[in-house]
Structure 1
Amino acid sequence: MGRRGKASIWFLLVLWGVSPHLLARPLTVAFYYGKHPAVRELADFDLVVVDPDSDFTPVHYPRSRAHWIAYVSVGEVTPNRGYYDLFPKSWILGDDPDWNSEIIDQTSPAWPAYFAEQVVRPLWNRGYRGFFLDTLDSWRKVVTDPQEQERQQLGLVRLIVTLHRKFPQAQIVLNRGFELLPKVHSLVNAVVVESVFQGWNQKDKIYYAVSAQDTQWLLGQIDAIRRQYRLPVIVLDYCDPQNPDCALQDVSALRRAGVIPYVSDGLLQVINPLTLR
């Protein structure tokens, strides 16, 4: 790993309060969206992203070594979320049938404050101090006008600024959001990039190898993030759990690319200890 890569990891360790002695080994990250997280197993990782609608609450595990990060969907909402019934339906742009969710209009003036108070505040009160912001580009599925696309992006910027203002100690991790980084890079702590070498197609329920062209484009984005903004980059790839060689080869490739790797199943229901080795 190059000099910039080590600087980025040091930055992440300091922000999360992880002991600096961990620089002697690679930082480890896990993603698990199952309903009943295996806390002891997940606690072997440094950072763990979980679905907060599971039965896990960080304040119940004050001695856990892991730093727990709550998954939060910015661009979509599903009826099973606790805040759905309070959600104004006028903020809905359309549907995402692959995930049975509704796409949120990021230009709604009240949306940033609503997100901070109705979505993030309850998680903060449960002890989460890190938030993984997902579905940042869902609006692209229904918005085609260039001017309207720019308004959607500005709405997302306002949301991230609002989140930082209300929770200045929160650690914010973006899922991609490449076009937002010029305006918000100083407010976020890391960037996740999915499906660099191996991916999951939710519509067809299949695993696939990412095309060489797409991989090279993503590696270029990753290099730019590390070089321009000196932010740590975490890559989340997907392999069939029945094909352990896929995950083994993928983790090796990701490590060679100088990123923090994690490889899991398509729905993030399996804990993969491979990156702990």
Structure 2
Amino acid sequence: MRGFSEQHNSGSGGANGRGHAVGNCAIVLMVALFSFSALIPLRLFAGNERRISSWACYYGSENITRNLSRFDLAVLAPGGQDPAPLRKAGIKTLVYVSAGEVSADGPYYEEARNHGLLIRHNENWDSWVVDLRDPAWKELFFERIIPDALEDGYDGIFIDTLDSPLDMHRRDPDNFKGMERSAVELIKRIRKRYPRLLVAQNRGFEISQRSAPFIDYLLIEGLSSLMELSSGERFDVSPKDREFLLVKATEALKANPSLTLLSLDYVPSGDAPTMEKVYEFSRSKGFVPFISVPALDRVFENHPGS
């Protein structure tokens, strides 16, 4: 999920991960074995510092503090909306961090290229998938990227683009063996290094059951509704893909009963009936929902439930 240029612009996430083709969801699983009519109902989550009933994702640069103050949690882009007034008002703020890609026009591209970390070009966002297994990436990520992102003062981090290197393993397991293990280790290391920070993960379903104990929020992007990046056309997520997402969310919740499930769906700004429908579905399945457009550069004034 992205809608800005990494660390000024790099999800799903935030959050509109790599074109929003529902490819990851279309993995054919034996969903017939799982017939979930609903997830565990929305409940009080352990720890007051994690408990939320609403959230927003905003990657714009305009100051919309008043609008964002309606929510309990806000995911923001580095160098965008100032988190200070939101934190002062008691809103939890997370900063976007791209863990699996670097933007071609971002500040970390040259260093990643020089270290031979780039393994595939993502044309949707003009970014490059990186090799999570390489020690050089781990050093860049933990010594530069995360500290830079946290510089303005946030309550936590929002981890996006894990799907990209995980997809490389899925496509070519021989050449990219160990990518899943490295992704899990990355999440564990974040938790160990920043025990007091809130940590959110966007998608990454290959590892979500293993990473769930080390995160506070799991985002399911595109639970009900998506939009084409090029045309802006909206379409429903297929029942099979949605069932897959619900299964993965349930598995993560079993691994960490204190996990807060977030959903992010894309709906055109004037389509109030669809917004309400999407919102109600997410709530009914135990998610804390948010609805926006793929660029994630606006927060609807009439957002349901905010």
Same fold (TM over 0.5): yes
**Does the 8 Å contact 1:137/1:177 carry over to 2?**
yes
- How many residues align? The count is 265
**Does the 8 Å contact 2:266/2:293 carry over to 1?**
yes
Residue number in structure 2 paired with 1:241: 269
Deviates more, 1:83-92 or 1:97-106: 83-92
**CA distance, structure 2, for counterparts of residue 241 and residue 6 of structure 1:** 26
**Does the 8 Å contact 1:160/1:184 carry over to 2?**
yes
CA deviations on 1:13-71 (whole Å, 9 max, x unpaired) are 5234x6xxxxxxx70010111122401110210000111132x3334655222111111
Alignment of 1:218-237 (within 5 A): 218-230=245-257, 231-237=259-265
Of 159, 180, 186 in structure 2, the residue corresponding to residue 133 of structure 1 is 159
Give the 3 Å change call, closer, same or farther, for CA 149–260 of structure 1 in structure 2: farther
Q: Name the aligned partner's letter for residue 263 of structure 2.
A: V
Residue number in structure 2 paired with 1:36: 62
Deviates more, 1:196-205 or 1:112-121: 196-205
Give the 3 Å change call, closer, same or farther, for CA 97–205 of structure 1 in structure 2: farther
Deviation, 1:221, is 1.7
> Structure 1: any 5+ residue segments left out of the alignment?
19-25
Is 1:274 aligned with 2:299? no
**CA distance, structure 2, for counterparts of residue 3 and residue 266 of structure 1:** 26
Secondary structure in structure 2 of the residue aligned to 1:14: coil
**Does the 8 Å contact 1:5/1:232 carry over to 2?**
no
Residue number in structure 1 paired with 2:91: 66
Q: Name the aligned partner's letter for residue 10 of structure 1.
A: F
Give the superposed CA RMSD: 2.4
Is 1:94 aligned with 2:128? no
Of 189, 193, 198 in structure 2, the residue corresponding to residue 171 of structure 1 is 198
**Does the 8 Å contact 1:30/1:49 carry over to 2?**
yes
CA deviations on 1:116-143 (whole Å, 9 max, x unpaired) are 2211112323211211111111125545
**Does the 8 Å contact 1:57/1:127 carry over to 2?**
no
TM-score, normalization: structure 1?
0.86
**Does the 8 Å contact 2:163/2:204 carry over to 1?**
yes
Is 1:15 aligned with 2:34? no
Residue number in structure 2 paired with 1:84: 109
Residue number in structure 2 paired with 1:117: 143
Q: Name the aligned partner's letter for residue 75 of structure 2.
A: V
Residue number in structure 1 paired with 2:216: 189
**Does the 8 Å contact 1:72/1:132 carry over to 2?**
yes
Give the 3 Å change call, closer, same or farther, for CA 258–114 of structure 1 in structure 2: same
Of 245, 253, 260 in structure 1, the residue corresponding to residue 281 of structure 2 is 253
Give the 3 Å change call, closer, same or farther, for CA 153–169 of structure 1 in structure 2: same
Q: Which structure carries more relative contact order (alpha carbon 8 Å, separation 6+)?
A: 2
Deviation, 1:184, is 2.5
Deviates more, 1:108-117 or 1:64-73: 108-117
Residue number in structure 1 paired with 2:16: none
> Among the aligned pairs, what percent are the same residue?
24
Deviation, 1:74, is 1.1
Give the 3 Å change call, closer, same or farther, for CA 57–270 of structure 1 in structure 2: closer
TM-score, normalization: structure 2?
0.78
**Does the 8 Å contact 2:117/2:131 carry over to 1?**
yes
**CA distance, structure 1, for counterparts of residue 200 and residue 48 of structure 2:** 15
Q: Name the aligned partner's letter for residue 167 of structure 1.
A: Y
Residue number in structure 2 paired with 1:52: 78
> Structure 2: any 5+ residue segments left out of the alignment?
1-37
Q: Name the aligned partner's letter for residue 249 of structure 1.
A: K
Query: Which is richer in helix?
Result: 1
Secondary structure in structure 1 of the residue aligned to 2:303: helix
